[in-house]
Amino acid sequence: MGIVAKIIGLANKGVTGLGIAALGVLPLIVFYDVTARYVFNAPTIWATEISIYLLQLLVFLPMGLLLGENSHIRSTLLTDKLSPRAQRALHLLSLAMVALLAGCITWLGWKLTAHSWHQSQVSATLLAIPLWLPNALIPLGGLLLLINALGGLISPPAEFK
């Protein structure tokens, strides 16, 4: 289990770094675009598209990290009233359901990415970004979510042991 935990940890650190970079760059791009558009009457052709791709990164990649660190949003109004054994069972059931959903996201995202690759699809803008690049964020995020869900099933957080 040690090597798997290290791989998950490295993947989560990589996601954290990408997320920090995206969160740092995104407001700068939006500020530049708004300034160019409304102050200089010279809108950009790239800012909106790049912003969308950065937002896509910020949505899909951190899912696994949040689950792995047990820092995702959860509603515990009803489960707090259950016994520790029932709480653990529900936690494991929810992780199994997340793993199933993550497997579907990974598989279908991979099909979308492969289709974009084989069809040589590009964005319908002047940037003409190959669509397999942003589409690849979907299966990558799903895979990270799947790995972290399976990691939680194998080694649940201390509060559920």
Q: pTM for the whole thing?
A: 0.86
Residue type, 24: G
> What is the model's pLDDT at position 161?
59
Strand (E) or helix (H) holding 38: helix 2-38
Domain spans of the chain, in order of start:
2-69+82-160
- How many helices and strands in the chain, by DSSP H and E? 6, 0
Separation of alpha carbons 90 and 17, rounded Å:
32
Separation of alpha carbons 39 and 33, rounded Å:
10
Q: What sign results for the dihedral spanned by CA atoms 36, 38, 43, 48?
A: positive
Q: Residues 6 or more apart from 160 whose CB is under 8 A from it?
A: 87, 88, 91, 92
Separation of alpha carbons 108 and 15, rounded Å:
21
Give residue-wise pLDDT tens across range 64-73.
889 988 877 8
Give residue-wise pLDDT tens across range 28-62.
999 999 999 999 999 999 999 999 999 999 999 99
